[in-house]
Homo-oligomer: A and B are copies of this chain.
């Protein structure tokens, strides 16, 4: 690119799936002159360097953020307080500190106290990913046409928010601005509850005495398989999400269970009309998701990994 990059030094705290995808997409877009990362293990640092996706790799957050004008925390939510404390002394005035965590109000709580005056803390969340992890799992196209939610605080500087939004668009994403509490409520239903449910049904199946694990695996094409994909994400990651979005999770779980008990009662008393009424919600939403471009209708996927039994 003819123009000079919009950022001098991009510091990525953590270089797993999301961090390494940001590094690749930032390279692709020419968004930073130097890309630095941290990784706890020497092996991950070497991998990131060998892949050519970063210019420097550091064990220590302070060395990584030194001189950075954009810092993105890409480690688990449970690490934020320690990361904030470690990098605080090296943050330079005018820098932007963002993150990619799946819960946002807790970022102000955990990182906020460590951010020096003159540094802009502007949390963010790319709504994309796969169940894979590690620096080799990333790819530059991960964010293309997906939403990246930015949740500025009430005190955020408008120009800094716009600089971060431009960077995110440069990674390929569409930007949505939302306050942190609203984000946490919306994601509780669109992401956090689905993951908890998926973990739960897999555990329920695994605990059955009457059906063997071999039978569950053999006949998983009936629908169960799709839940195991969702539930294959790293457990520590999701523990941190659920514990940090507790109020919204408890609210959504309460509603979900209430609705499920109503279905259970309808099954017990053979109330077919009541079941049909509840099921009718699903079809419209599915169509609108496809229309909104958040899912391909994917006929070849349908053939490779069919869902069961929908005979007309």
Contact = CB atoms under 8 A, between A and B. Distances in A.
A4 interface: no
Nearest to A224: B190
A292 B225 CA distance: 12
Given A235-B280, A259-B200, A222 B187 contact: yes
Q: Is the interface of A mostly helix, strand, loop or mixed?
A: helix
Interface in A10-27: 14, 16-19
Contacts of A165: none
Interface stretch (A29-37, A56-64, A88-96, A140-148): A140-148
Q: How large is the interface on A (under 10, 10 to 19, 20 to 34, 35 or more residues)?
A: 35 or more
Contact of A210 (B134, B185, B203): B185
A76 interface: yes
Contacts of A190: 205, 215-216, 219-220, 222-224
A184 to B, nearest CB: 11
B129 A306 contact: yes
A7 interface: no
Interface stretch (A116-124, A151-159, A247-255): A247-255
A196 interface: yes
Nearest 9 interchain pairs by C-beta: A133-B312, A191-B222, A16-B312, A194-B223, A231-B282, A235-B279, A233-B310, A18-B311, A206-B281
23 contacts: A129-B308, A142-B306, A186-B219, A189-B205, A189-B224, A190-B215, A190-B224, A196-B260, A197-B227, A198-B282, A199-B263, A200-B263, A202-B281, A206-B281, A208-B255, A217-B294, A226-B226, A231-B286, A234-B310, A235-B276, A243-B270, A246-B267, A246-B268
Interface of A: 14, 16-19, 74-76, 100, 102, 127-135, 137, 139, 141-142, 146-147, 149, 176, 185-187, 189-208, 210-211, 213, 215-239, 241-243, 246, 249-250, 252-253, 255-257, 259-261, 263-264, 267-268, 270, 272, 275-276, 278-283, 285-286, 288-289, 292, 294-296, 298, 301-312
